[in-house]
Amino acid sequence: MEKTVLGICAHPDDVEILCAGTLSLFKKAGWNVHIATMAPGDKGTAEYNIEEISRIRKAEAAEAAKLIGATYHCLEFADVYIMYTPDSINRTTSLIRNIRPSVVFTHSPNDYMIDHETTSKIVQTACFCTGVKNLEISEPIYEPAPYLYYCDPMEAKDIFGTPIIASMFVDISTEISTKEKMLACHASQRNWLMTHHKMDEYIHSMQRFSESRGKEINTKYAEGFRQHLGHGFSQNNALKEILGELVVVK
């Protein structure tokens, strides 16, 4: 197994909220870490134009990635307009084939925002297509498909309020400070929300949710995941094998 891991989500700051603690643990375990976003976060502002906020948010994402020695990538789709198309499949598969990760983390298939749900579907297909010879891209194929893990949706619920139950948890108690620092790099979002909420809700909400997941496994902080176990994907739990006792399977 090549020791490369990829966290790929829709927007800058999604990875930091959902799986940055786990990616930090991978880095400490000697893995090469990559963080990617489908879009640059071009709609996440009430102040800047598209070009300005895209530049700002990509720089913030790159800064956050550097805190754990990770490499940042942006696929340059647009917020709200992330679609399941041949172009999005091809570009995402090209990225994955170039990076050649053994493990991939992405959004839950059920989440509060269509961008997240569509990203989940695109990444699922892209992982399946790492070994598909006649896909219309030039990057060489590789097999087997990466292990694919879905992060928690926001607030661990679907759009009907139904709880999404994690099947495994990673104890990130040692990484919560790093996770906080990575999220704080996204100052454009933090300051925007502070203006509206009159408090540092951006960081506090992440802390509260990490703490709530931690309580489920009797630790301080945790991140929850579910493994993609469909046909064509390996069935063993690589996350447990890599991180050992830090992973609790329910």
For the stretch 160-219, pLDDT in tens is 999 999 999 999 999 999 999 999 999 998 776 666 555 557 788 899 999 999 999 999
Taking 3-state DSSP, the helix, strand and coil percentages for the chain, each rounded to the nearest 5, stand at: 45, 15, 40
Q: Write down the mean pLDDT value for the chain.
A: 95
Long-range contacts of 243-247 (CB under 8 A, 24+ apart): 243/22, 243/25, 243/26, 243/29, 243/170, 246/25, 246/170, 246/171, 247/168, 247/169, 247/170, 247/171
Query: Using CA atoms, how far apart are residues 226 and 150, in angstroms rounded to an integer?
Result: 5
SS3 87: helix
Q: Are 189 and 13 in contact (CB under 8 A)?
A: yes
For the segment 45-50, the average pLDDT, to the nearest whole number, is 88
| pLDDT tens digits, 13-45 | 999 999 999 999 999 999 999 999 999 999 988
Given a cut of 60, is residue 79 above it in pLDDT? yes
Reported confidence tier of residue 230, pLDDT bands at 50, 70, 90: very high
- 149 strand-pairing partners: 105, 227
- Token pair listed for 163: 């709880």
Question: What residue ranges do the domains of the chain occupy?
Answer: 4-249
Task: Judge if the upstream peptide bond of residue 153 is cis by omega within 30 degrees of 0.
Answer: no
Nearest one of 70, 74, 58, 68 to 6, comparing CA atoms: 70
Query: Using CA atoms, how far apart are residues 39 and 75, in angstroms rounded to an integer?
Result: 6
What is this structure's pTM? Answer: 0.96
Reported confidence tier of residue 96, pLDDT bands at 50, 70, 90: very high
Q: Tell me, what's the pLDDT at 46?
A: 79
Q: At what angle do helices 114-128 and 86-99 cross, to 10 degrees?
A: 60
Fold classification of 4-249 is Rossmann fold (3.40.50)
Count of residues in the chain:
250
Q: Tell me, what's the pLDDT at 201?
A: 77
- Token pair listed for 139: 């990057």
SS3 229: coil
Q: Tell me, what's the pLDDT at 203?
A: 85
Q: Are 62 and 73 in contact (CB under 8 A)?
A: no
Q: Tell me, what's the pLDDT at 189?
A: 85
Q: Tell me, what's the pLDDT at 47?
A: 85
- Residues in CB range of 50: below 8 A, 6 or more apart: 42
For the segment 78-91, the average pLDDT, to the nearest whole number, is 98
**Which percentage of the chain shows pLDDT scores above 70?**
96
Given a cut of 90, is residue 97 above it in pLDDT? yes
